[in-house]
Structure 1
Amino acid sequence: MQTAFGLGVHAGTNLMRIGLIVGPWFTVPPEKYGGTERVVDALARALSDAGHDVLLATAADSTCPVPQVPGFGPASPEDLGQSFSELGHVIKAYTEMQDVDIIHDHTLAGPLYAHRPRGIPVVTTIHGPLSSSYAPLYRDMANDTAIIAISHDQISRTPDLKVSAVIHHGIDLSAVSVGRGAGGYVCFVGRMCPDKGLMEAVAIAREAGVPLRIAAKMHAPDEYGYFKDVVQPALASTEEFLGELSDPEKYELMGDAIALLNPIQWAEPFGLVMIEALATGTPVLATPMGAAPEIVRHGITGFVGSAQELAEYAALAPELSREACRRSVEESFSARRMAADHVQLYTKVIEQFRAKSLPDDGLLQENQSRTL
């Protein structure tokens, strides 16, 4: 963990000092499963590579190679969702980020914290669905916090919410090699739950007559229960359950696959697994739910359709260009592109914040006349 942080202003440049806050429950990057932490890791690295000073507030055992706020405890996944632990985490983070130009808070508690520093602009990213429970909270914070959505579909159900930008996720392509797709199987990567469409993936693979390899996160009791009661009894010899994989193992699985099956059953706001597969050159077969149509270019980097249609499209997947799949990520879903989009927004937010902080010309002239 690095703790030194350059506090000097980059005079005459567009470089800035950026504070990033993520919850206390998982490391950055995560050891295995963890979408938000994986995205923040890629963003922090890309911002740092671009020359910005980045200060990260995260669990102490995180390995992201940027300076980190000292004094936090190790990751505590057993406390996931506890608002008290998150609030204590963000209070300390804001206290230690008095010298940054902007704070990008990836928690929910932070932007709602009434005593955060008022001299520093704050932006936040909506990482989850805008449900009826969460939408009012984001409406409240939109008055003094710039809000980033991660897909157009995510905000389509809440058109009255003030969103400053839609910025798709990106990944570090230097860690992902293009595979040959020569494994003769399709794969499923995700969480062990009905919403991810695992049983639909099993049906698609069987209908297409292709073996299926399954990599799934299974930590929570409901995930174990779903596997034991629903998935495991249904698996045949043509389906192989691999458990949860590390990043290198995951990319190897994807790279050798004919296609990634992502028959998602809910409006997932993004779906990092799809761009990870595309980065390995592997096409994606997805249902038209959530952000999938924003990620998969039908007939070019995969296919979007019903489960029945995806079973038919599976035969066409090997004909798609693996180079085109990789190129789509390089052009639209790389960490470098993600960081550039964020810097553009940060700059705009800082300029607007400073403009609001300045007195109007009449008041300024009046104050000046009093001092003469």
Structure 2
Amino acid sequence: MSLVSRDPILLTPGPLTTSLSTKTAMLRDWGSWDASFNAITAEVRKQLLDIANAHENHVCVPMQGSGTFSIEAAVNTLLPRDGHMLVLINGAYGKRMAKLVQMMGRKVSVFETPEDIPTTAADVERLLSGDRSITHVGLIHCETSTGILNPLAEIADIVARHRRSLIIDAMSSFGALAVDAAKVPFDALIAASGKCIEGPPGMGFVLVRKSVLEKAAGNSTSLSLDLYDQWSYMEKTTQWRFTPPTHIVAAFHQALMQFVAEGGQPARLARYQKNYEALMTGMDELGLKSFLDPKIQAPIIVTIHAPDSGNYEFKRFYNQVRDKGFVLYPGKLTQAETFRVGCIGAIGADEMRQAVHAIADALREMGITTKGTREKRLASELAVNTA
């Protein structure tokens, strides 16, 4: 039966379930030149720098569009046209970053590990020592295609020691996993509104080292994605260069205030960790296994091996779970049949346990026997035989 009485809970890596107050913030119209809206933009920029303790050396530049728009803006602006970028890949979003660099006509090298193997600091040490032409390194902090966590702090230290520039895709980690700009050296960190801050999608942002950005004028080959121009125009006018996503900015501001009220990054991570633990307890009871070793799994999105059954078909499974009020995410792997479950959004462990029940019911309705149903059947047979 479809739960039409409420919106489905989005167990995805974004868009994700937002709070009622965040949704409500989108009900007001704003003038893009209005002083009150410009004040909201300024406050959002400040709050984002607060989260990363980045006020001393960095500035925050918001950008229209999805997170990928901001990644492209950062790379196209900060990587000189004669630069050479090394992209560290263990999933689809690392491949996307490398493709962006290639399409911009810049030199790019890649280092790719399997989707369940993190890049190590030793890897980066060897690569940078072996090629002094590399000027920039691109790293995905939490690779959304699996949920794998790459060792940001260790890699950042190596990049800094070699005096290269580090650009971090923190799309799925910012706000949940700690990144302190005073301890982790980086030239740019990129994230978006519709992730761990729990705002709606439609706006990205870059925390960028001011001294680096000041030297980046003229690098970009794009008008709308020129990060330097966006920043310099905002500094002069307090306004966005082109029509801003006003409703998204206002709702994101509301989400940021809730983030602070909850207790900031430590509290957000603690809630997501409880969500993850509730999910994995339930998956274990069903006999479903995660793709990654828990030691390298971020509590953001979890890749789960599909049931080993001829009755399993993701689209049907997705629809069955969706009808029970929960939206899952397809797997993004080529070597294994998987599905993904997000642990982020304005939800708690209770909703995650309800999702586990929905998954169990959907599998049962598809005729798929899980560990839990096998144990119940055996217990029932035992009770009959001993009666």
Please give the range of the TM-score, normalised by the shorter of the 2 chains. 0.3 to 0.5
TM (norm. structure 1) is 0.33
Q: Which has the higher contact order (CA 8 A, sep 6+)?
A: 2
TM (norm. structure 2) is 0.32
